[in-house]
Each structure stands twice: as structure tokens, then as C-alpha cells.
Amino acid sequence: MKTGVPFREGLFQGSDEKGSLLGARCRQCGQIIFPRREACLNCLGNDLELIQLSRKGKLYSYTIVHMPSEHFEPPYAVGWIELPEGVKIFSQIRGWQERPLETGMDMALHFEKLWDEEEKEVVGYVFRPSTNGGA
């Protein structure tokens, strides 16, 4: 079996049922940002706390892409998922062949293989239509 490596360090922790996306909340202005930065991009304050973002959200918009990208063969789906915190996450969307996508539908976070890189399996976050209720 190939070893899994995160596609980017610091964006998420854990996997499967327990993992989450890692954001930051500014203690000064309340802004939530993803990915994390050293300083708050809204007020430039430095007092940030690490937070785990919600695992569920609503599909803000989506598209089925019919052209190849660096890592994905067409057709593949991507979209913006709006989390209850008000943050929008750009992500691969899986499971769209089984369940037609609709703007506003409930989505759930999963961690899956994104692509293969030689002996490694590059792992990251994806969203799938939620099977058991919304955010």
C-alpha cells in the first residue's frame, strides 16, 4: 500500500470521521480565515487562535469540469462549500455521479486520495453530498 501524504501541510488534521480543516479566528476582530496565516488578514492583528472548522456546509456553487487539470482527468467536479462559520472552501466534490448536485444542498467533509505521486498517495479534503442531514 502506498503511503499517504497531505497535499499541503497545515490545512487539515486527522482523517475520515475525526479530521477537520484548520482555520484561524482573530481574537481582535472575529474574522475566520482559511488557510491559516501568521496575522489576521482582516485587521492585521496577531492574536489568532487555531480552530477546527465545521465538517458540514452548504453547496454555494459547483461545476463539472470537462478539461484536464494538472492532477485530475475530466470529468471532475469542484465547488465552493459555505461553512456555518461563513467561510467558503474551494474543494473537489466527489459522489456527484450518484447524487446530482444542487446549489444549496448539504455537504459533508471527507478525506480521500486526491492523486498519485510516484510511490505516494496525495491525500486531501473533498466534500460529498451529505447522506444524513445538514449543517
Partner 1 sequence: MRDVAIIGVGSTVMGKFPESLPYELGAEAARAAIQDAGISPGDLQFAYCANLYGGMVIGQAVMGEIGITDIELTNIENACTGGATAVRKAWWDIASGLYDIGIAVGVESITTSPMAGKLITPAKGDITGELGMNMVARFALSQRRYMDMFNISLEQIAQVSVKNHRNGCMNPYSQYRKELTIEEIVNSRPICEPITLLQCCPSTDGAAAAILVPLDLAGKYTSQPVTIAASVLKSGDYAFRWEDMTFSDMTSKCANSAYEMAGLGPEDVDVCELHDAFAMNELQHYVELGFCKRGEEVRLLEEGVTDLGGKIPVNTSGGLLSKGHPVSASGVAQIAELVWQLRGQAGERQVAGAKVALAHVIGGEVTGLESGAVAVHILKR
Q: Which residues bind partner 1 (CB under 8 A)?
A: 7-8, 11, 31-33, 35, 41-42, 60-67, 69-72, 76, 78-80, 87-88, 90-92, 103-104, 114, 124
Q: Give residue 44's region: left, alpha or beta (phi > 0; psi -120 to 50).
A: left
Q: Which is nearer to partner 1, 82 or 132 (CB)?
A: 82
Instruction: Rank residues 22 and 64 by Cβ distance to partner 1 and give the closer one.
Output: 64
16 or 49: CB nearest Zn ion: 49
Length of the chain: 135
- d(C-alpha 125, C-alpha 114), whole Å: 8
Question: Residue 31 corresponds to which cell in the numbers above?
Answer: 474574522
